[in-house]
Amino acid sequence: MTSRDRDEAKEALRKFTRRQLMELDTCAHCALCTEKCPTYAESQVPNYAPGVRSSKTVRLYNKQFDLRARLLGSRPITEEDVADLADSAFNCTLCGRCMETCPFGFQTHELWVRVREVIRDLGGTPSKVLMLEEMLEESQNPYGLEPDMRLDWADYTDLEEIPEKDQADIAYFVGCTTAFKGANHEVAFAIASILNKLKENWTLLGEDEWCCGSPLLLAGDEHGVKKFAEHNVEALKSRGVKTVITGCAGCFRVFKWEYPKLLGYKPDFEVVHAVEFLRDKLASGELNPDPAKERVGYHDPCELARLGGVIDAPREALKYLASDYVELPESGMDVRCCGGGGLLQAVNNDLRMAIVNRRLGQARELGVEILTSGCPSCKLAFADGVRESDIEIEVLDVMELAARQLGLL
C-alpha cells in the first residue's frame, strides 16, 4: 500500500459519521439482528450476519485510525480485506429489519449503505453492480435499454389514452422496473386506467422520466444519484405538478425521503404511493370495486413499510378489494423481506430465490390464492419464485387487483 493509497483509504473511511462510528464501536454482538436477517437465515453464512459486518468494518477502520495506527503508523488495507467486507455488505437486501430489532436503535440501514459507499471508494464494488451503474449513466435506466422504450408498456397493454402533457396536476412516475419489465406492464396499465377512469388531470413524463436513482444509492454511489434527482425534480416542476404518484416502493422512498436530503430542500410537490391514492378514492366512494372472492394476502415491501412509513393504506384499500383477506406473519414494520431488494439479484440470485421461497411458503401455509404487494421488485421476485416451484399462487400488485375488480383489466 503506497502512501497515496493510504491517504485514499483514510479519505474513504472518514465518510463514516461520528454516530456511525459510535454504532460500529458499541455493537454488543448480541446477534438479535442476526436472528431476523433474511440473508443470514437462508444462507447461515456468518459473514452475512450484520454483527459480523460491524466487526469487520471496525477492524478496517482501526487499521488506519486506532491508537496503534496513530503511534506507529497505519496498517495496510488489503484487497482481501475489502473483498471480504464487500461480500458481507452486498449479500444484504438492505431491508432494514436489523434496525428494527437492534435494542440500541442503531440506524443500520443508513450504516450499511455507508459501508457500500466506503467499499466503492476502496475499489471493492462487485463488477455486476458496476455494470448497473454504467448502464444508468448511458441510458438512464439500470437495464441499458433505449430511453424511448420507456413507454412501450402503453402500446403492449393497449392503453387508450397516453397523456404526455406540458402541464398537469398529477404525474405518474412509472419507474424502470415497471416500465421495462414485461411482467410489470399491467401494473402501469392498472394505475393509468384508474387515473383515466377518475378523469384526473395527469401526465406521464415519457422519455423525460429518468431512473429515480435508487440503484445508485443501493450501490453506494450517493454522488451519482444527485444528477438523477435534479433531472426528475426539474421535469416535474416544469410541468407544474402538484402530486407525484408512483407504484414502486423504491421510487417512493427515494422521492419522499432521499431527494430532500440530496437536494438540500423539499421539492414543492407531494409524493404519494399509488396504494395511498387508491385508498383515498375507495374511502371517498369515487371507486366502487366488486371484492375478489379468492383468499388474498399482502406482502409489505420493505421500502414502502419499514423504510417508507406506509403500512395502513394498502390494508385499508384491500378491505374494499377482497372479501377474504388474511394477514401474513412477519408483516408491517417487522416484514420479512421478499429477497428482491438491495441489488441482491445482481450479486447472489440463488440467495434471493431462497428468501423468496421462504416468504411464498408462508403465504401458501395460510391458503393464500392471490399474493399482492405494492412494489414491482417484490412482484418480480414472487413471480420468479412461483415459476420455479410448485406453489400455485397468483402474484398481483394491489393496483392490478384494484383494476381487475373495477373491471378495467
Residues lying near ligand SF4 in the complex (CB under 6 A) are found at 27-33, 36-39, 50-51, 54, 92-98, 101-102, 104, 106, 108, 112
Over its C-alpha atoms, the chain yields an Rg (Å, rounded) of 22
Q: For the packed helices 108-121 and 3-13, what is the interaxial angle rounded to 10 degrees? A: 160
Shortest Cβ 53–ligand SF4 spacing (Å): 7
Of 33 and 304, nearer to ligand SF4 (C-beta) is 33
Of 25 and 234, nearer to ligand SF4 (C-beta) is 25
Under DSSP, is residue 334 helix (H, G, I), strand (E, B) or coil? helix
Shortest Cβ 54–ligand SF4 spacing (Å): 6
Of 32 and 354, nearer to ligand SF4 (C-beta) is 32
Shortest Cβ 264–ligand SF4 spacing (Å): 27
Shortest Cβ 385–ligand SF4 spacing (Å): 17
The residue with cell 384526473 is 200
Shortest Cβ 402–ligand SF4 spacing (Å): 29
Instruction: Kindly state the cell numbers that stand for 311.
Output: 403500512
Of 230 and 334, nearer to ligand SF4 (C-beta) is 334
Rounded Cα distance, 189 and 397, in Å:
11
**DSSP code at position 140:** S
Strands of 97-231, DSSP E: 170-173, 202-203
Of 16 and 173, nearer to ligand SF4 (C-beta) is 16
Of 110 and 207, nearer to ligand SF4 (C-beta) is 110
Rounded Cα distance, 122 and 13, in Å:
9
Sign, CA torsion 293/330/116/310: positive
Shortest Cβ 307–ligand SF4 spacing (Å): 10
Q: How many CA atoms lie within 13 A of 40 on its CB side?
A: 21
The type of residue at 167 is Q
The distance from CA 355 to its chain's CA centroid, rounded to whole angstroms, is: 16
Under DSSP, is residue 202 helix (H, G, I), strand (E, B) or coil? strand
Of 85 and 368, nearer to ligand SF4 (C-beta) is 85
Tell which residue, 335, 226, 268, has the closest CA to residue 327.
335
Rounded Cα distance, 112 and 126, in Å:
15
Shortest Cβ 105–ligand SF4 spacing (Å): 8
Q: Which helix (H) or strand (E) holds 270?
A: strand 270-273
Of 32 and 183, nearer to ligand SF4 (C-beta) is 32
Non-local (6+) Cβ contacts of 46 within 8 A are 40, 52
Starting at the edge strand found earlier in the chain, the sheet holding 292-298 runs 322-326, 292-298, 370-373, 394-397
Shortest Cβ 342–ligand SF4 spacing (Å): 7
Of 57 and 140, nearer to ligand SF4 (C-beta) is 57
Shortest Cβ 329–ligand SF4 spacing (Å): 17
Under DSSP, is residue 373 helix (H, G, I), strand (E, B) or coil? strand
